[in-house]
Amino acid sequence: MESISLSSKFAEFDELWSPRIVAFSNGQHVKLAKVKGEFVWHHHDRQDELFFVVRGRLRIELHDRVLELGAGELAVVPAGVDHRPTAAEETWLMLLEPADTLNTGNVRDERTVDHPEWI
């Protein structure tokens, strides 16, 4: 058991849309990601996905509405719901999701990370 400095962990990487694992709890990975631009439309068949904005602003586009999140805010996208995260500026996220969750959900493309790196 140890404390984790989010700012120190974010300083360890620059790649966008490439989540890093920083902790494991009750079958869930705690991941950090830097994002900018548009991600792919996708959903997760069996997993909810929690987005917590550490820095910046995140838009989570849904087919019927858009969620706008600022620093210190979070949203949970339920399993099976199509969504597309976007960020106009570099945004830092903390994600909480089951360990077997693939970042691109039901879609495979060049941004798919099969085995996120532990930092």
91 found inside a domain: yes
119 found inside a domain: no
The CATH number for 68's domain is 2.60.120.10
pLDDT tens track of the chain, all 119 residues? 789 999 999 999 999 999 999 999 999 999 999 999 999 999 999 999 999 999 999 999 999 999 999 999 999 999 999 999 999 999 999 999 999 988 888 888 888 888 899 99
Find the domain containing 15 and state its range. Answer: 6-113
What per-residue confidence (pLDDT) applies to 44?
93
118 found inside a domain: no
Three-class SS of residue 87?
strand
25 found inside a domain: yes
Number of domains into which the chain is organized: 1
What per-residue confidence (pLDDT) applies to 43?
94
Q: Which long-range contacts (CB under 8 A, 24 or more apart) does 7-11 make?
A: 9/119, 10/34, 10/54, 10/92
96 found inside a domain: yes
